[in-house]
Amino acid sequence: MSKDQGQTNHAIDAYADGAWTLPGERVRLATETPLPLDCGTTLKDVDIAYQSWGELNAEKSNVILVCHALTGDHFVAGKHPITGKPGWWEAVVGPGKVIDTDRYFVICSNILGGCMGSTGLQSVNPETGEHWGRDFPVITIGDMVRAQKLLIDHLGIEKLFAVVGGSMGGMQVLEWACQFPDHVFAAVPIATAARHSAQNIAFHEVGRQAIMADPDWCKGNYLAEDKKPHRGLAVARMAAHITYLSEAALTRKFGRNLQDRDQVTYGFDADFQVESYLRYQGSSFVDRFDANSYLFITRAMDYFDLAERFDGQLSKAFKDTPVRFLVMSFTSDWLYPTHESREIVHALNAGAANVSFVEIKSDKGHDAFLLDEPDFHQVFEGFLNGCAEHRGLKGAKS
Amino acid sequence: MSKDQGQTNHAIDAYADGAWTLPGERVRLATETPLPLDCGTTLKDVDIAYQSWGELNAEKSNVILVCHALTGDHFVAGKHPITGKPGWWEAVVGPGKVIDTDRYFVICSNILGGCMGSTGLQSVNPETGEHWGRDFPVITIGDMVRAQKLLIDHLGIEKLFAVVGGSMGGMQVLEWACQFPDHVFAAVPIATAARHSAQNIAFHEVGRQAIMADPDWCKGNYLAEDKKPHRGLAVARMAAHITYLSEAALTRKFGRNLQDRDQVTYGFDADFQVESYLRYQGSSFVDRFDANSYLFITRAMDYFDLAERFDGQLSKAFKDTPVRFLVMSFTSDWLYPTHESREIVHALNAGAANVSFVEIKSDKGHDAFLLDEPDFHQVFEGFLNGCAEHRGLKGAKS
Q: Are B329 and B373 in contact (CB under 8 A)?
A: no
SS3 per-residue string spanning A177-218: HHHCHHHEEEEEEECCCCECCHHHHHHHHHHHHHHHHCHHHH
**Residue of B38, B235, B314 best to disrupt the A interface, most CBs of A under 10 A:** B235
Q: Which domains does chain A have, with CATH numbers?
A: 10-391 (3.40.50.1820)
Residues of A in contact with B250 (CB under 8 A): 197-199, 202
Assign B293 a pLDDT band (cuts: 50, 70, 90). very high
Residues A296-309, mean pLDDT to the nearest whole number: 97
Q: Is the confidence metric ipTM above 0.90 for this complex? A: yes
Instruction: Write down the pLDDT at residue B112.
Output: 98
Q: Contact B278/A206, CB-based, under 8 Å?
A: yes
Residue B157, CA distances (Å) to B64, B126, B161, B279 in order: 11, 29, 10, 43
Residues B310-325, mean pLDDT to the nearest whole number: 96
* Cα–Cα distance, A148 to A145 (Å, whole number): 5
Q: Contact B198/A267, CB-based, under 8 Å?
A: no
Residues of A in contact with B295 (CB under 8 A): 268
Instruction: Write down the pLDDT at residue B398.
Output: 44
pTM: 0.94
Assign A21 a pLDDT band (cuts: 50, 70, 90). confident
Has A377 been annotated as catalytic? no
Min Cα separation B135/chain A (Å): 10
Instruction: Write down the pLDDT at residue B130.
Output: 87
Instruction: Write down the pLDDT at residue B22.
Output: 83
Q: DSSP E strands: which ranges in chain B? A: 25-29, 35-36, 42-43, 46-53, 63-67, 93-94, 99-100, 105-109, 160-166, 184-190, 324-330, 354-360
* Cα–Cα distance, B198 to A272 (Å, whole number): 9
Instruction: Write down the pLDDT at residue A134.
Output: 87
B259 has a pLDDT exceeding 50: yes
| Beta-carbon contacts of residue B201 (< 8 Å; ≥ 6 apart) | A256, A272, A274, A275, B302
Q: Contact A234/B209, CB-based, under 8 Å?
A: yes
Instruction: Write down the pLDDT at residue B126.
Output: 83
Assign B6 a pLDDT band (cuts: 50, 70, 90). very low
Tell me: the pLDDT tens digits for B147-162? 999 999 999 999 999 9
Residue A339: in which H helix or E strand, if any? helix A338-350
Instruction: Write down the pLDDT at residue A395.
Output: 63
Tell me: the pLDDT tens digits for A161-177? 999 999 999 999 999 99
Instruction: Write down the pLDDT at residue B397.
Output: 53
Instruction: Write down the pLDDT at residue A20.
Output: 60
Residues B109-126, mean pLDDT to the nearest whole number: 93
Catalytic annotation, pick one of A109, A167, A293, A332: A167
Select from A330, A152, A350, A150 the least CA-distant residue to A249: A330
**φ, ψ for residue B165, nearest 5 deg:** 175, 155
DSSP states of B265-294 as a string?
Answer: -SSSS--BHHHHHHHHHHHHHTTT--HHHH
B12 has a pLDDT exceeding 60: no
Residue A280 vs residue A7, higher pLDDT: A280
Q: Which residue of B has its CA nearest to A229?
A: B213
A215 has a pLDDT exceeding 90: yes
Residues of A in contact with B235 (CB under 8 A): 206, 209-210, 213, 235
Min Cα separation B340/chain A (Å): 12
Instruction: Write down the pLDDT at residue A5.
Output: 37
Instruction: Write down the pLDDT at residue B395.
Output: 62
Min Cα separation A390/chain B (Å): 39
* Cα–Cα distance, B20 to A305 (Å, whole number): 52
Select from B266, B249, B253, B224 the least CA-distant residue to B333: B249
Q: Which residue of A has its CA nearest to B218?
A: A1
Assign B5 a pLDDT band (cuts: 50, 70, 90). very low
* Cα–Cα distance, B97 to B77 (Å, whole number): 11
Min Cα separation A1/chain B (Å): 6
Residues A280-305, mean pLDDT to the nearest whole number: 96
Q: Which residue of A has its CA nearest to B273?
A: A198
Tell me: the pLDDT tens digits for A81-122? 989 999 999 999 999 999 999 999 999 999 999 999 999 998
| Beta-carbon contacts of residue A266 (< 8 Å; ≥ 6 apart) | B38, B39, B40, B137, B138
> Which of B138, B235, B302 is facing A209, going by the closest CB pair?
B235
Name the packing angle between helices B230-244 and B291-303 (round to 10°).
40
A16 has a pLDDT exceeding 80: no
Residues A178-186, mean pLDDT to the nearest whole number: 98
Instruction: Write down the pLDDT at residue B20.
Output: 60
User: Percent of chain B, pLDDT > 70?
Assistant: 94
Select from B326, B328, B308, B327 the least CA-distant residue to B317: B308
As a whole number, the mean pLDDT across chain B is 93
DSSP 8-state secondary structure symbol assigned to residue B370: G
Q: Flag the least confident range among A142-146, A349-353, B53-57.
A: A349-353
Residues B384-388, mean pLDDT to the nearest whole number: 97
B31 has a pLDDT exceeding 50: yes
User: Percent of chain B, pLDDT > 90?
Assistant: 88
Instruction: Write down the pLDDT at residue A3.
Output: 36
* Cα–Cα distance, A19 to A211 (Å, whole number): 27
Instruction: Write down the pLDDT at residue A224.
Output: 87
As a whole number, the mean pLDDT across chain A is 93
